[in-house]
Amino acid sequence: MDYKAIIAKYRDTTGGILEAFNAVQKELSYLPEEVIAEAARIFNIPAAEAYGVATFYSMYSVEARGKNVIRICESAPCHIAGADEVIAALERELGILMGESTVDGLFALEFTECVGQCQATPVITINGEPFFDVTAAKVPGILAKFQK
Amino acid sequence: MAEEMRIVLRNYGKIDPLEINDYIALDGYKALEKAKAMEQALLIADVKKANLRGRGGAGFNCGQKWSFAYQAQADQKYVICNADEGEPGTYKDRLIMENDPHTLIEGMAICAYAIGATKGYIYLRGEYPFLVSTLNAAIEQASKKGFLDKFSIEVRSGAGAYVCGEETALIESIEGKRGEPRFKPPYPPAEGLWGKPTIVNNVETFANIPVIVDKGGEWYASIGAPSYPGTKVFTLTGDINNRTFFEVPTNTTIYELIYKFGGGIPAGKKFKAVQIGGTSGAFIPTELLKTPVAFDAMSEIGATTGSGAVLVLDETRDIVDVVTRIAGFFEHESCGKCAPCREGTARTHELMHKLNEGFGSSEDLELLDRLGRVMSISCLCGLGQAAPAPVLSTIKHFNADYYAKLV
């Protein structure tokens, strides 16, 4: 769907810029400049303010990134459960470092803080979907689901 | 020894969360009916009598908060549910929303009636996108059954900001702004969302309300510790045999949580420390484990009940390393509005990193301690004020671990 049409859906939602950004990101994986400008216009706020919102929240990216966003929890419970090994496995498997995207545009690798699934640490999420008790051995299988 | 007691999780596993009739069959929405037959002031008086204190971490008297919003004169009032559960190691609110969304909706509807609000919001953290449809389905069902006749609820999603758990930052976020905390006063019950009187309560707080209304404030006040009555949901993580959740009366001790409910430390290792209340909580040593988990008892030992996260570390853990990771968390999550927090969290992380790598001196340790004390009294909101707690408590209780790493 066209980003203008997505943003327009939230026109009458007071303070709905976050909802609009969330919806756009679902489609585009990030917030290009024209999306921020359009949102500023629709919600009648200065572009600087819209940009301020886009750069405040950690789930938003104003730079292009891979379609499937992998986020690895690095909060204390995951940290002591061995998140480091999962990070190493993901970097190895995808051939990129944390904070980077694969050249085919399929994956982005990011840190996150706690995602609230601490019964099964370490945890990663891909496009918001959590994966539990992740080990280095489980990583290729998890990625395969998104490699189609 | 205390037993588990389920109030907010009373329907856990017993009902289909997407089937309102299951909830109704277990007396759901009867409390709302009862509440609506009461005078607003009397209803609030009963919640006050229950002495229910906010379960998000601050521990403010819920009924008292409601009475401020009730007394405020305005053409519009709001009820907000704080579902921005971001405290690391915490997932209690997700458990409630995932398994029993109607208890939250009923609690919010009772609050709306009590203070005279017609519009409500559930501010759901961005990390729980899969709960949006559950909540919306539950709201629609409740609405169709006529339970939300004078009150509408909208779900709003965050986008990853720990600070939005702070109620005024959360309000800013719903207004479509950066989630930076406001200066207080005015407090939200006087001037909140779009400047109107607003109640912001945690998911767990709201989930208590139907039961309190049903059984009465006096009944609730008799459970657990008198100054912080009722139950609290704790989520156990780290080096613990039962890595799961428990809802227990508030006079349960930390020792019971770890050894009775948690089943102790795995692989025959010894206990080293426990951090309670989330990542901003203090680390507690063995000699203080007999402390009850209630708010005031925890305050007395310089700790918090907080969100109910329980992170257990065994004897093999490097506590300075864990606290360094935590210091990194706060540097990342500081919103940057006030200097003591923006600069303080960055310098704290820098000093912790230096100490953890073995390059720190005793002067660094002293500086870290002083910086933490300054932050705890000078930061604008709870984030910055609580951020030094893990550092200060470990310097106090686990000094040897720091000294072992000094140059």
**Same structural domain, A26 and A74:** no
- Contact B157/A113, CB-based, under 8 Å? no
Q: Across the beta sheet with A68-73, what order do the strands follow?
A: A107-112, A68-73, A124-126, A129-131
CB contact under 8 A, B313 and A80: yes
**Inside any domain, residue B157:** yes
Same domain, yes or no: B85 and B210: yes
* Distances B379 to B60, B182, B383 between C-alpha atoms, Å: 20, 12, 8
Assess whether B56 and B170 both reside in one domain: yes
Mean pLDDT, to the nearest integer, of B352-370? 97
Same domain, yes or no, for A49 and A82? no
- Domain-embedded: residue B310: yes
Q: B355: distance to nearest CA of chain A, Å?
A: 18
Shared-domain flag, residues B123 and B217? yes
% of chain B surpassing 90 pLDDT = 99
CB count in 10 Å sphere of residue B215? 14
- The answer to whether A22 touches A61, Cβ cutoff 8 Å, is no
A15 to B179: CB separation less than 8 angstroms, yes or no: no
Q: Are residues A140 and A85 in the same domain?
A: yes
Q: Based on the fold, state whether residues B240 and B357 are members of the same structural domain.
A: no
Q: Is residue B12 part of a domain?
A: no
The dihedrals phi and psi of B244, each to the nearest 5 degrees, come to -150, -160
Token representation of residue B270:
């010894």
Is the CB of residue A132 less than 8 Å away from at least one CB of chain B?
no
Domain boundary among B314, B348, B383: B314
Cβ B322–A22 below 8 Å, yes or no?
no
From the CA of A40, how many Å to the nearest CA of chain B?
11
- Residue B362, pLDDT score: 96
Give how far B402 is from chain A: nearest CA, Å: 18
Single residue among B314, B349, B378 that ends a domain in this structure: B314
Q: Per the domain annotation, does A62 fall within a domain?
A: no
Of all residues in chain B, the percent with pLDDT exceeding 70 is 100
User: Is residue B13 assigned to a domain?
Assistant: no
- Here the tokens at position B147 are 């339970």
**A74 belongs to a structural domain:** yes
| A79 and A121 inside one domain | yes
Residue A28 domain flag: yes
DSSP code of residue B77: -
- Which domain covers residue B87, as residue numbers? 20-222
> A75 vs B88: CB contact, 8 Å cut-off?
yes
Residue A111 lies in a domain: yes
Task: Verify that B165 and B44 share a domain, yes or no.
Answer: yes
Does pTM top 0.90 for this prediction? yes
| Bridge partners for B274 per DSSP | B284, B312
Q: In this structure, are A138 and A81 located in the same domain? A: yes
At B281, is the pLDDT very low, low, confident or very high (cuts 50, 70, 90)? very high
Residue the block writes with tokens 């690095």:
A74
* Closest-approach residue (CA) in chain B for A117: B91
Inspect the interface and report whether the beta carbons of A21 and B317 lie closer than 8 Å.
Answer: no
| A47 and A95 fall within a common domain | no
What is the pLDDT, as a whole number, of residue A64?
A: 97
How many domains, in total, are found in chain B? 3
Residue A85 maps to a domain:
yes
Pairwise CA distance, residues A97 & A118, whole Å? 25
**Interchain proximity A75–B89, CB inside 8 Å:** yes
Closest residue in chain B to residue A50, using alpha carbons only: B177
Query: Is pLDDT above 70 for B1?
Result: no
Q: Which residues, 6 or more positions from B94, have their beta carbon under 8 angstroms from its beta carbon?
A: A116, A117, B85, B128, B131
B299 pLDDT higher than 90: yes
Residue B337 parent element (H or E): none
- Residue A121: domain span: 68-144
Residues of chain B with Cβ-Cβ distance to A119 below 8 Å are: 91, 235, 237, 243-245
Cβ pair B69, B193 in contact under 8 A = no
Assess whether B76 and B137 both reside in one domain. Answer: yes
Asked if residue B294 and residue B232 are part of one domain, the reply reads: yes
Look at residue A61 and tell me if it is in a domain: no
pLDDT of residue A1: 73
pLDDT one-digit tens code per residue, A113-128: 999 999 999 999 999 9
Please check whether residue A37 lies inside any domain of the structure.
yes
Structural domains of chain A, count:
2
Q: Is the Cβ pair B130, A129 closer than 8 Å?
A: yes
Q: Is residue B387 part of a domain?
A: yes
Q: Are A43 and B176 in contact (CB under 8 A)?
A: yes
pLDDT at B135: 98
Domain boundary among B222, B239, B260: B222
Whether residue A138 is found in the same domain as residue A72: yes
φ/ψ of B67, rounded to 5, equals -65, -30
- Closest chain A CA to residue B163: A57
Answer yes or no: do A44 and A78 share one domain: no
- Mark which residues 43-82 of A lie under 8 Å from B by CB: 43, 45, 49, 52-53, 56-60, 74-77, 79-81
Q: Give the residue-averaged pLDDT of B369-383.
A: 96
Of A17, A33, A56, at which residue does a domain stop? A56
Chain A residues closer than 8 Å to B317 by CB: 80
Whether residue A30 sits in one domain with residue A75: no
Residue A27 has, within 13 A of its CA and on its CB side, a CA count of 14
Inter-chain Cβ pairs, chain A and chain B, closer than 8 A: 129
DSSP code per residue over B8-35: TTTTTTTS-TT-HHHHHHTTTTHHHHHH
B118 domain residue, yes or no: yes
Report the pLDDT averaged over residues A14-30: 97
Question: Which of A16, A34, A56 is at the close of a domain?
Answer: A56
Question: Is A57 in contact with B179 (Cβ distance < 8 A)?
Answer: yes
CA-based Rg of chain B, rounded to a whole angstrom?
21
- Place B185 in a pLDDT band, splitting at 50, 70 and 90: very high
Q: Do the domain assignments include residue B11?
A: no
Put simply, the answer to whether A114 touches B161 (Cβ < 8 Å) is no
Give me the CATH number covering residue B239: 3.10.20.600
Predicted confidence band of residue B374 (pLDDT cuts 50, 70, 90): very high
Are B90 and A114 in contact (CB < 8 Å)?
yes
User: Mind telling me how many Å the CA of A3 is from chain B's nearest CA?
Assistant: 18
Mean pLDDT in residue range B304-320:
96
Within 8 A of A118 by CB-CB distance, chain B residues are: 88-91, 235, 237, 309
DSSP string computed for B202-224: EHHHHHHHHHHHHH-HHHHHTSE
On the question of pLDDT at B2 being above 80, the answer is no
Task: Indicate whether B263 and B274 sit together in one domain.
Answer: yes
B182-212 b/e with 16+ CB inside 10 Å = b? beeeebbbbbbbeebbbbbbbbbbbbbbbbb
Mean pLDDT of chain A: 96
Please report the pLDDT score of residue A148 as a whole number. Answer: 72
pLDDT at position A127: 96
Dihedral sign, Cα of residue B177, residue B181, residue B184, residue B188: positive
Nearest to B85 among A116, A121, A128 (CB): A116
* Residue of A59, A61, A121 best to disrupt the B interface, most CBs of B under 10 A: A59
Rounded Cα distance between B241 and B64, Å, is 39
Distances (CA, A) of B345 to A130, B167, B182, B311, B340: 29, 21, 19, 21, 8
Asked if B153 and B37 sit in the same domain, the reply is yes
Q: Has residue B1 been placed in a domain? A: no
In Å, how far is B88's CA from the nearest CA of chain A?
5
Whether B210 shows a pLDDT value over 70: the answer reads yes
Contacts (Cβ under 8 Å, ≥6 apart) of A143: A90, A93, A94, A107
Backbone angles phi, psi at A96, to 5 degrees: -135, 170
Contact state of B85 with A15 under an 8 Å Cβ cutoff? no
Domain's final residue, options A29, A56, A83: A56
Same domain, A45 and A83: no
Q: What is the CATH number of the domain that holds A121?
A: 3.40.30.10
Q: What is this model's ipTM?
A: 0.97
pLDDT computed for residue B120 by the predictor: 98
In terms of domains, do B151 and B207 share one? yes
- Residue B163's domain is classified under what CATH number? 3.40.50.11540
**Among the partner residues B91, B159, B161, nearest to A117 by beta-carbon distance:** B91
Are A76 and A49 within one domain? no
Q: How much of chain A, in percent, has pLDDT values that exceed 70?
A: 100
Instruction: Kindly state whether residues A72 and A127 are assigned to the same domain.
Output: yes
Name residue B277's amino acid.
G
Considering the domain architecture, whether residues B113 and B141 belong to the same structural domain is answered as yes
My answer on whether B246 and B384 are in the same domain is no
Q: Who among B176, B317, B329 is closest to A113 (CB)?
A: B329
What are the backbone dihedrals phi and psi of residue B224, each rounded to the nearest 5 degrees, phi first?
Answer: 70, -150
pLDDT reading at A95 higher than 60: yes
- Record the tokens describing residue B390, joined without a space: 């893990």
Q: How far is A139 from chain B (nearest CA, A)?
A: 21
Q: What's the pLDDT tens digit per position in A25-36?
A: 999 999 999 999
Q: Does A63 map to a domain? A: no
